[in-house]
Amino acid sequence: MSDHELLLDYLTVKAAYQPKAIPTRNAWTFFSKMTGIPQVWTLDEQQQPVPFAQADDRILSIHHSPKGDPRIL
């Protein structure tokens, strides 16, 4: 990688925080401000971030049920 490519990668990094495992599934959720406000995301089959839940407002926490299906935003 050239110095320019390394700098570009550094400047365009997407931050992720507060990862949580989804019980009974081989998946997890995390928070990111990719849309400009905190939202919950997960990874698809190609390991690309996709919204886990849609909301017009920011999401501050998420709790998965022990079965992994219902969730509280």
Mean pLDDT over 55-69 rounds to: 87
What per-residue confidence (pLDDT) applies to 30?
92
pLDDT by residue (tens digit) across 1-38? 788 887 877 777 678 999 999 998 889 999 998 888 89
What per-residue confidence (pLDDT) applies to 32?
92
pLDDT at 44 over 80: yes
What per-residue confidence (pLDDT) applies to 19?
93
Q: What is the pTM of this model?
A: 0.74
Contact yes or no for 39/29 (Cβ under 8 A): no
